[in-house]
Amino acid sequence: MAGERLTDKVAIVTGGGSGMGAATARALAREGAHVAVADINRSAAETIAAEIASAGGQAIAVPVDVARPAEARRMVEAVIQRWGTVHILTCIAGVLRTSAVQDIGEEEWDLVLGVNLKGVFCCAQAVLPAMRAQRSGKIVILASLAGRATSTLGGAHYTASKAGVLGLMRHLARELAPDGIHVNAINPGIIDTPMVRAHTSPEHLQRVVAGIPFQRMGRPEEVADLVVFLASDESSYITGAAIDIHGGELII
Ligand SMILES: NC(=O)c1ccc[n+]([C@@H]2O[C@H](COP(=O)([O-])OP(=O)(O)OC[C@H]3O[C@@H](n4cnc5c(N)ncnc54)[C@H](O)[C@@H]3O)[C@@H](O)[C@H]2O)c1
């Protein structure tokens, strides 16, 4: 059902071609936002953008490698050219690798840290001029429970990237608050997406799920609902927060 919580807001969803990014793009569009589905996988982004458009929403696909500053800037320029500004940036693009510490090569370390940490920095920096000019903005970062504890599926580089992005989120929140820009993070537990399915055997997944009090994985749509809340005016006094969503996996 269509809502009106984000009518005519302009939103960028990195990683919008799959999993939680795709669910977030759909959810933002349902609330009336104009959505740029930004992804390194151009055809996946185009598929989601076309799906939103055929449901009556406003969407464009923007190919981007978030870890490259020039590409992040071009992504923002494309959105501004289409809709005039950016109100919402959701940083959802991410990569998971499961190697043990001794097997992590430099290239793999750089990929994971590059997308999950540097990529968030590049996109946040690229939207700043537009958000500062309008003295408002919402940045929502998909971190992970891995950043608060350790990853149950990923390797040390994944855990480090997610811990790092939580620090980045806190710093951005403090530095950008005077400009009216909110910066928050979401820490999902295990969410049923292609990322999890691609890197985990069904047996391992079963063992992990058995340890979750709700006895199931989360759904991408459940995370997308939280992104919409943090992107909307309903979260007007929240910044610098990291909100866990994990079915009880980490109750402390
Ligand atoms: N699925 C989980 O259980 C889980 C848990 C905690 C956190 N997360 C995080 O949530 C986010 C979304 O994960 P998901 O499970 O939906 O994954 P997914 O693999 O389904 O989607 C990730 C998307 O990011 C895109 N992407 C990868 N590298 C990119 C780059 N350099 N530039 C632009 N796009 C790029 C991929 O093409 C893909 O479309 C990630 O940051 C992930 O680390 C996932």
Return the residue whose CA atom lies nearest to atom 23 of ligand 1: 15
**What does the angle CA 60 – CA 19 – CA 195 come to, to the nearest 5 degrees?**
130
Give residue 46's Cα distance to chain centre. 18
Does residue 136 belong to any structural domain of this protein? yes
What pLDDT, on the 0 to 100 scale, is given for residue 1?
47
Does residue 4 belong to any structural domain of this protein? no
Does residue 252 belong to any structural domain of this protein? no
CA of 246 to the centre of ligand 1 (A): 17
Does residue 247 belong to any structural domain of this protein? no
Does residue 250 belong to any structural domain of this protein? no
Q: Is 237 a catalytic residue?
A: no
Q: CA torsion angle for 82, 75, 23, 139 (degrees, to 10)? A: -100
Return the CATH number at 207.
Answer: 3.40.50.720
Cβ of 149 below 6 Å from ligand 1? no
Does residue 20 belong to any structural domain of this protein? yes
Does residue 251 belong to any structural domain of this protein? no
122's CB contacts (< 8 A; 6+ apart) are: 66, 67, 68, 69, 71, 72
What pLDDT, on the 0 to 100 scale, is given for residue 2?
74
Does residue 157 belong to any structural domain of this protein? yes
Cβ of 165 below 6 Å from ligand 1? no
What residue type is assigned to position 196 of the chain?
A: V
Mind listing the pLDDT tens digit of every residue in the chain (252 residues)? 478 999 999 999 999 999 999 999 999 999 999 999 999 999 999 999 999 999 999 999 999 999 999 999 999 999 999 999 999 999 999 999 999 999 999 999 999 999 999 999 999 999 999 999 999 999 999 999 999 999 989 999 999 999 999 999 999 999 999 999 999 999 999 999 999 999 999 999 999 999 999 999 999 999 999 999 999 999 999 999 999 999 999 998
The number of distinct structural domains making up the chain is: 1
List 29, 97, 154, 158, catalytic entry: 158
What residue type is assigned to position 222 of the chain?
A: E
Mutation test residue for ligand 1: of 13, 18, 196, 227, the one with most atoms within 8 Å of CB? 18
Q: Which domain holds residue 16?
A: 10-242
* DSSP character string of 135-161: T-EEEEEE--GGGTS--SSS-HHHHHH
Handedness of CA 43, 45, 50, 55 (dihedral sign): positive
